[in-house]
Amino acid sequence: MIINFIESLIASFFFTNYFDLKINKYLYFMINFILISTEINIDNVFYSYSITLPLVVASTVAVIAYLTTKNNIWEIIFISYLDQLIVGISIIMSLMLENIVNNDTRVIIGKILYLLFVCGILFVHKTKNIRLNTLYWKLLTIVVIVFYFAYTILLQFYLGMKLNQRLVYITLLSLVLSVIGIAVIVYYISELEHKQQETQFSLQKLEMEQSNYKQLNNVSKEVKIMKHDLKHDYALIENYLRGKKYSKIKEIVQSRMQELQEVTTTINSGNDVINTIINYKMMIANSKNIKVDYEINVSDKQYMKDYHLNELLSNLLDNAIDNCSKSDPKIKIFIEEDVFLYLEVINQIDESVLKKNPDLRTNKKGDNHGHGIKSVKRIVNEYRGSVKFFEKDNKFHVSIMIPINHPH
């Protein structure tokens, strides 16, 4: 029974440190420990070994994680079955010592191997921060489940029918190497995708910078024109002063101030990527007569991969521009750096978006906030953040919080 509790402790330690929890980690640990240890001990009372036990444990872990963590469901299923596969591999490796050490020592060695496997996976998870999309998690889940059942069948044959030990070991070793091989392939495919995304972003950034450069040239030309016009304004102001027509002077000053504000509105925060993206999108908004206000307080920290930040901000601003009110075209942008990176984009709307489309599904026929929302959610989830969509006072809000200290 003590060995069963040790196994439950290791499993609970694994899941608590791997998953991104929505509840207190000690509570999560205790829930897993109590349920896993109960299932193992009940199984041991009625069976010496049951093929259904790992399935029950994996299913229990998956359900708990689905309800209490932020991880992808396919990642949850993969980790749940991977844990059981690790337990099985540890058992098989300890069985190799059955003619060398006594049974109790062999069982203890099996649990030590299990702990070492778990610590190795957690080390890779924490230091390498491997990110996979849903497709790869599905692939890995299918692979680990297939190998889990192959291992279970072999173990049942070995325990019940005494197959040739060497054949069993070679088969299991092949399964383990196959899992590792597939994981390596998936990792390199993922890295290749990241490099492609970085290249694509570099091209997009170059395009945006070229557009921003053209805009600066236009601003420079307009400023020169304004300087020339100011000479005429000074003459008019002098005449109005003599005639005490102060209201006319006020009109001239207000008009020039408005022109100056429109010409020189560019973002110059502490972050070059944010500057490039928002300046480019503001130029598009201005061409559609949309007024953009902003409050940005950031540094030059890399909050996430540049191409992810580009995709996130671009989608948010494209949605705001495309769906902005026609009668009162205004957009507000808030970006704040603290413990979290806080982003909020607000645009005026003529009618409720969420009433017509509560799930924000994409509608290619137009006028829909669903464009890019799936990408926004994916990126936010990848960086363990949160996103909210809501409406208030004829305004559509997208509010995002992302931990700054999250590894990337």
Q: Spell out the domain ranges in the chain.
A: 2-163, 267-408
Contact 28, 61 (CB under 8 A): no
Across the chain, mean pLDDT equals 77
The pLDDT of residue 67 is 92
> What distances in angstroms separate CA 394 from CA 48, 208, 294, 404, one per listed residue?
65, 31, 19, 31
Mean pLDDT on 47-71: 82
β-partners of residue 292 are 331
Say how many Å lie between the first and final Cα of the chain, rounded.
42
Asked if residue 402 lies in contact with residue 383, where contact means CB atoms within 8 angstroms, the answer is yes
User: What's the gap between Cα 26 and its chain centre?
Assistant: 24
| pLDDT attached to residue 210 | 62
- The mean pLDDT value for 201-215 works out to 61
Cα separation of 365 and 380, whole Å? 26
The amino acid present at 40, given as its one-letter code, is I
- Ranking 132-141, 155-164, 371-380 by mean pLDDT, the lowest is 155-164
Min mean pLDDT across 220-234, 237-251, 286-300 is at 220-234
Q: Look at residues 335, 319, 347 and name the one whose alpha carbon lies nearest to residue 275.
A: 335
For residue 378, give Cα distances in angstroms to 146, 185, 364, 370, 407: 28, 23, 20, 13, 16
Over 80: is that where the pLDDT of 133 sits?
no
Vertex 305 angle, CA 141 and 317, to 5°: 105
Lowest mean pLDDT among 26-30, 156-160, 263-267, 384-388: 263-267
**What confidence score (pLDDT) does residue 365 get?**
47
Give the pLDDT band of residue 28 (cuts 50, 70, 90).
very high
Res 396 pLDDT > 70: yes
What's the pLDDT at 118?
92
Identify the CA nearest to 360 among candidates 377, 348, 346, 347.
377
Token duo for residue 152 = 């279970």
Helices (H), 243-339: 246-264, 272-287, 306-322
The pLDDT value given to residue 222: 57
| Secondary structure class of 384 (helix, strand, coil) | coil
* More confident call, 324 vs 219: 324
Contact yes or no for 390/368 (Cβ under 8 A): no
Identify whether the C-beta of residue 271 lies closer than 8 Å to the C-beta of residue 299: yes
Whole-number Å distance between alpha carbons of 400 and 388: 7
- CA–CA distance, 87 with 114 (Å, rounded to integer): 6
pLDDT at 104: 80
Give the pLDDT band (50/70/90) at residue 209: low
Neighbours of 110 (CB within 10 A): 21
Predicted model pTM? 0.50
More confident residue, 399 or 268: 399
Q: What is the pLDDT of residue 95?
A: 73
Residue bearing the bigger pLDDT, 67 or 406: 67
Given a cut of 90, whether residue 258 has pLDDT beyond it is no
Ranges 31-40, 195-204, 207-216, 372-381, most confident: 31-40
Closest CA to 322 of 348, 358, 359: 348
Separation of alpha carbons 176 and 147, rounded Å: 8
Tokens 């049974």 belong to: 103
Q: How many CB atoms lie within 10 A of CB 82?
A: 24
Retrieve residue 156's tokens: 């049942």
Q: Which of 379, 274, 395 has its CA nearest to residue 387?
A: 379
267-408 is classed in which CATH architecture?
Answer: 2-Layer Sandwich (3.30)
| Residue 107 or residue 174, greater confidence | 107
Q: Range with the lowest mean pLDDT among 161-175, 249-263, 354-368?
A: 161-175
pLDDT at residue 334 is higher than 70: yes
Q: How far is the C-alpha of 135 from the C-alpha of 29, rounded, in Å?
A: 29
Q: Which of 235, 259, 267, 229 is nearest to 249 (CA)?
A: 235
Question: Mind listing the pLDDT tens digit for each residue in 71-110?
Answer: 889 889 999 988 988 888 787 777 777 778 887 888 888 8
pLDDT of amino acid 115:
92
Tens-digit pLDDT profile for residues 269-320: 778 788 888 888 887 888 788 888 889 888 888 788 877 888 888 889 888 9
Q: Lowest mean pLDDT of 177-181, 323-327, 334-338, 380-384, name the range.
A: 177-181
**Better pLDDT: 101 or 59:** 59
Measured distance CA(125)–CA(117) in Å, rounded = 12
Q: Is the pLDDT of residue 64 over 90?
A: yes
- SS3 call for 64: helix
Which among 39-48, 272-281, 321-330 has the top mean pLDDT? 321-330
Task: Tell me the mean pLDDT in the region 209-222.
Answer: 56
What is the average pLDDT across 368-373?
59
